[in-house]
């Protein structure tokens, strides 16, 4: 049986067209972008062309785009700079953020650099906007709002414009972890009130180990990583040349094919939901599946039994790749902090299935049949 890969929110396969774009910079065009001779200048031009392409797609200025090693570095940079450089002494986040954000804000609280508040999560997994405004209105110091655009486990999306308007109203800095949405949704940063957003190439069929950080041109921060003068003195270290070229090419492909690919991927998600409802008893879904949600993610809730507790292990044995975890901790499975925040039912097991443009209905049928057998 061929492997059925349904964990695209974790990483996606590299598109062959992206690999083709990267190959010259893995082989002949290998010059250091900081070198002044022609080999170096060719590499520098490739990076700046990639920066312009990313900026154009996101409707930002090229000077606002910085290339990094991925979403974790980007979020660490933005959050830390907001506290240390921009005067934010109160961080408002949520308990369902990615650990790249959660661990960073907890560290800054632990070191005494900022106080930390968590906005409430509603029963459907959405952020409580009224509570967010309450936290902002009651704060006596400048706030950083750090809320992810789309949750990587259940797919729920914030209204980024509504959060931006609250940030503007209360003079707060706004960082959004957009790793699950850059490359999957159109962005118009010129008309979005946000100070930082992040991206990671491997979430939209680009290479691993390369990401981006958007820094709004109206704010000035100091480098997170010290060293050389790369990325206009903002991010030291020799640039990931072929990664950056691949990031830009993958983002361009994703943007060009957005309408077609997003409709197709959403159809796979809804098809799997319908088939599971028909074939698996007492199945339900975590998050706002039919509402404001990622079209790539379906988080399925199964009744906990001896069989379902081993579901991920048994799927793996059957060459089906998925991820997940219940609200509670058991053995090596630490459970999901996201599920625990709003759907903490110890009698349920959660499994995340996430889809890409290369998945097929036939794969969904095989996966559902196997789930019916395993559950």
Structure tokens at 293: 């949600």
pLDDT of residue 333: 55
| Sign, Cα dihedral of 369, 350, 186, 127 | positive
Structure tokens at 352: 């995340």
Pairing state of beta strands 143-146 and 173-176?
parallel
Q: What is the pLDDT of residues 5-17, one digit of tens each?
A: 999 999 999 999 9
Query: Catalytic: which of 88, 143, 321, 328?
Result: 328
CATH number, domain 4-12+258-374, options 3.30.2010.20, 1.10.357.10, 3.90.1150.10, 3.40.50.970 = 3.90.1150.10
Q: What is the pLDDT of residues 134-172, one digit of tens each?
A: 999 999 999 999 999 999 999 999 999 999 999 999 999
Q: What is the pLDDT of residues 186-245, one digit of tens each?
A: 999 999 999 999 999 999 999 999 999 999 999 999 999 999 999 998 999 999 999 999
Q: Does CATH place domain 16-256 in 3.10.20.30? A: no
Q: What is the pLDDT of residues 83-116, one digit of tens each?
A: 999 999 999 999 999 999 999 999 999 999 999 9
pTM over the 0.85 mark: yes
pLDDT of residue 17: 98
Whether 88 is catalytic is no
Beta strands in 225-332 (DSSP E): 284-286, 297-303, 320-321, 323-324
State the DSSP code for 226: -
Structure tokens at 118: 């968590």
Q: What are phi and psi of 196, to 5 degrees?
A: -140, 135
Q: Domain map of the chain by residue range?
A: 4-12+258-374, 16-256
Q: List, in sequence order, the alpha helices (H) in 150-224.
A: 160-169
């Amino acid at each position: 049986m061929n492997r059925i890969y349904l964990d695209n929110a974790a990483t996606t396969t590299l598109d062959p067209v992206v690999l083709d774009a990267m190959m010259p910079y893995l082989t002949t065009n290998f010059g250091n972008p900081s070198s002044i001779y022609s080999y170096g200048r060719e590499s520098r031009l490739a990076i700046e062309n990639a920066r312009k392409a990313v900026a154009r797609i996101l409707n930002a200025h090229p000077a606002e785009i910085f290339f990094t090693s991925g979403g974790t570095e980007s979020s660490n940079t933005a959050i830390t700079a907001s506290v240390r450089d921009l005067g934010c002494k109160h961080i408002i986040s949520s308990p369902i953020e990615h650990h790249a954000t959660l661990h960073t804000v907890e560290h800054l609280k632990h070191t005494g650099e900022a106080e930390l508040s968590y906005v409430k999560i509603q029963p459907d997994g959405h952020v409580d906007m009224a509570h967010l405004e309450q936290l902002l209105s009651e704060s006596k110091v400048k706030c950083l709002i750090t809320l992810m655009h789309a949750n990587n486990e259940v797919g729920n999306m914030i209204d980024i414009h509504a959060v931006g308007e609250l940030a503007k109203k209360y003079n707060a800095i706004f960082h959004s972890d957009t790793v699950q949405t850059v490359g999957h949704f159109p962005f118009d940063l010129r008309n979005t009130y946000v100070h930082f957003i992040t991206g990671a190439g491997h979430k939209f069929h680009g290479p691993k180990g390369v990401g981006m950080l958007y820094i709004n041109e109206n704010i000035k921060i100091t480098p997170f990583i010290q060293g050389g003068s790369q990325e206009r003195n903002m991010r030291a270290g020799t640039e990931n040349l072929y990664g950056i070229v691949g990031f830009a090419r993958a983002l361009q492909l994703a943007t060009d094919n957005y309408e077609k690919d997003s409709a197709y991927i959403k159809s796979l998600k809804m098809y799997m939901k319908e088939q599971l409802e028909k074939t698996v008893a007492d199945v339900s879904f975590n998050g706002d599946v039919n509402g404001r949600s990622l079209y790539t993610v379906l988080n399925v809730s199964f009744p906990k039994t001896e069989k379902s507790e081993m579901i991920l292990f048994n799927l793996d044995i059957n060459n089906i790749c998925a991820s997940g975890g219940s609200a509670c901790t058991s053995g090596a499975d630490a459970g999901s902090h996201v599920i625990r925040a709003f759907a903490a039912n110890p009698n349920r097991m959660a499994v995340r299935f996430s889809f890409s443009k290369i998945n097929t209905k036939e794969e969904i049928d095989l996966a559902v049949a196997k789930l019916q057998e395993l559950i």
